[in-house]
Structure 1
């Protein structure tokens, strides 16, 4: 796809379009990544909830279906040594009584941080890109990832985080604005309320680091792509818009709400995982408040909710289900992942060509 004003980053990662399909643990996967690759962008696989033994099979399935760079995404959080969820269980007690359930007898698997086992899988499958959320792994693991030849990307929610990542040699910084759906990538301490919107954050990160910068948050159509590129981004990472693709595993209620007026208001909440993430409001958020000190630390808040969520969903009730969404969901249109990737790229090129013509005619 010709016409991009600066193709250096595209050529470096081996794609035609500066569009990266966001990983989205729980909603993304093999089919979504294949569609993004067929559309000329980067296909991403979320690995935080995938058993290490299954990652290689997913990569093989993607590579068998479509050429192009595969991005494996991992979390870099630290699991607490002990977890006391008694306050959280007490807060949920009225709901347990209402639905006739209790805390799970066997806690479900939680989001696991990047470790030596997962690093060995990276060394085995040798993806073109390895991206991280919540910072970076320790120096030894990071060195092993880099030795595979993979590009290393990580997300920053502040200029300070972007500098921190650049100092450790990342190949690209993902500037994640306040608008982004799902978990905020923040990993350095910051005052409450310090979160920045993408169009304030992005140009400051571009000015602060030498690495290419990928814009993420609030981009759901071609206009957002053009705006991000104008502010210095080398590419964009799009998440929420892909949830409407048939290849995503988002539920029917989630999809319906994303296309309605409900999607015009989103909230940051810690109720579903213990860490701030942006999503659509539901009963739990409305009745307990979107942020609660009772919720145990990430990722353990989800444990006590598991049986309650399962029983409610059996009844067609999404009041205890996380439905992540960025602030620009209403700009998205349902289409296949391949078509969406092409639409974002071709629409952006058309807008830029039109602006260039208008300038020439002025």
Structure 2
């Protein structure tokens, strides 16, 4: 009974489980297809990809599965695509990171011509590729894009960190909503108010969103096992989105060092910081996060900080330095058990079924 919800019926899924999309190159075709083949919905974070790469990614996923999957993009906010800097301002911005570049024996990066591929080109590629689902964070696509999705048979999935954001998504015509609590790893994807003013926990957020909208609601944030899925469904959600547990699997594109850290005792201690990207995000507390804590007000905005910290991460990763790189991680890391995505899906389905079946029969 629990496997059949408004979400599974709308998407044609066997189980109401969605793999969260990972940006910055952490998603993989293999993981996306595996989750979809197992009856849930895999997701691929394509925020870092060019239009041609997005087309190639969709083709590669389709070669592995005919089941529903999602391609995820970030909606541009403010002037994130039109950041204007001169060399002097750039040098001043990266000064707090200079000691770490020196420690890793690398020269500081130079100002690039472009930080990320243009969103307009990315979204045109998504529309041309026609994935089953177009998911997005940090806002709402334009009415024209949403209308074109409807005409092409592409379902849309938006993320909300507040009830107001969920209502705005529904009013815009978005088909499904992820209600994401502050327990989630990675970026806080708020768009109506600041991320710091939108920190509601999953257990408080989900039932409020369910009461406020009529479209299917997916719970996210702090869910890593069947207990979390059962709780989400009990709160009225029509499905659960899981990020950190899938990121920790060998099929993700997270580095071996990152995956190792997700299973370490240190992963129990996460923090919200702007140090790694210029936007508020949750990761494992480490030396770099702590060192930049006092500089957050003066750090460069997104996407500059994301790009600069990314160059530092590449060098740190090459030297096995987990203390000097972003380690995205939700508050559920202590619950991680599986390192294989197929085994994780089996465990999630079995445990959720045991809990909800026992409750239904009065044996729980």
Normalised TM-score (structure 1): 0.92
How far does the alpha carbon of each residue in 1:248-307 deviate from its partner, in whole angstroms, 9 at most, with x for none? 111222222211211111011111211011001121111121770222111210333344
Match of 1:51 in 2: 50
Helix, strand or coil at the partner of 2:96: helix
1:289 paired with 2:293, answer yes
Flag the 1:48–1:108 CA change in 2: closer, same or farther, 3 A.
farther
Higher-RCO chain (CA-CA 8 Å, sequence separation at least 6): 1
Q: CA deviation at 1:108?
A: 8.5
Compute the RMSD of aligned alpha carbons: 2.1
1:17 paired with 2:22, answer no
Contact 2:182 2:199 in 1 (8 A): yes
Match of 1:65 in 2: 64
Moved more, 118-127 or 277-286: 118-127
Match of 1:89 in 2: 94
Q: CA deviation at 1:332?
A: 1.6
1:326 paired with 2:330, answer yes
Contact 2:190 2:198 in 1 (8 A): no
Match of 1:104 in 2: 109
Flag the 1:88–1:64 CA change in 2: closer, same or farther, 3 A.
same
Moved more, 80-89 or 270-279: 80-89
Contact 1:91 1:294 in 2 (8 A): no
Q: CA deviation at 1:206?
A: 0.4
User: Equivalences for 1:69-80 in 2 at 5 Å?
Assistant: 69-78=68-77, 79=80, 80=82
Contact 2:50 2:117 in 1 (8 A): no
Q: CA deviation at 1:109?
A: 6.0
Moved over 6 A (4+): none
How far does the alpha carbon of each residue in 1:94-143 deviate from its partner, in whole angstroms, 9 at most, with x for none? 2233333333236396344631x223322322111101110112222332
Contact 2:146 2:174 in 1 (8 A): no
Q: CA deviation at 1:355?
A: 1.2
Flag the 1:196–1:329 CA change in 2: closer, same or farther, 3 A.
same
Q: What CA distance in whole angstroms lies between the structure 2 residues aligned with 1:50 and 1:238?
A: 22
Q: What CA distance in whole angstroms lies between the structure 2 residues aligned with 1:357 and 1:297?
A: 53
Moved more, 32-41 or 253-262: 253-262
Picking from 278, 289, 296, the partner of 1:274 is 278
Picking from 159, 162, 166, the partner of 1:155 is 159
Picking from 217, 229, 233, the partner of 2:233 is 229
Q: Tell me how many residue pairs correspond in the alignment.
A: 357
Helix, strand or coil at the partner of 1:237: strand
Q: What CA distance in whole angstroms lies between the structure 2 residues aligned with 1:123 and 1:134?
A: 19
Picking from 238, 242, 248, the partner of 2:252 is 248
Picking from 218, 223, 227, the partner of 1:219 is 223
Match of 2:319 in 1: 315
How far does the alpha carbon of each residue in 1:127-161 deviate from its partner, in whole angstroms, 9 at most, with x for none? 11101110112222332223211111110001111
Contact 2:287 2:324 in 1 (8 A): yes
Q: CA deviation at 1:356?
A: 1.5
Contact 1:48 1:113 in 2 (8 A): no
Moved more, 163-172 or 293-302: 293-302
Q: CA deviation at 1:39?
A: 1.3
Flag the 1:182–1:57 CA change in 2: closer, same or farther, 3 A.
same
Match of 1:119 in 2: 123
Flag the 1:291–1:280 CA change in 2: closer, same or farther, 3 A.
farther
Picking from 265, 269, 294, the partner of 1:265 is 269
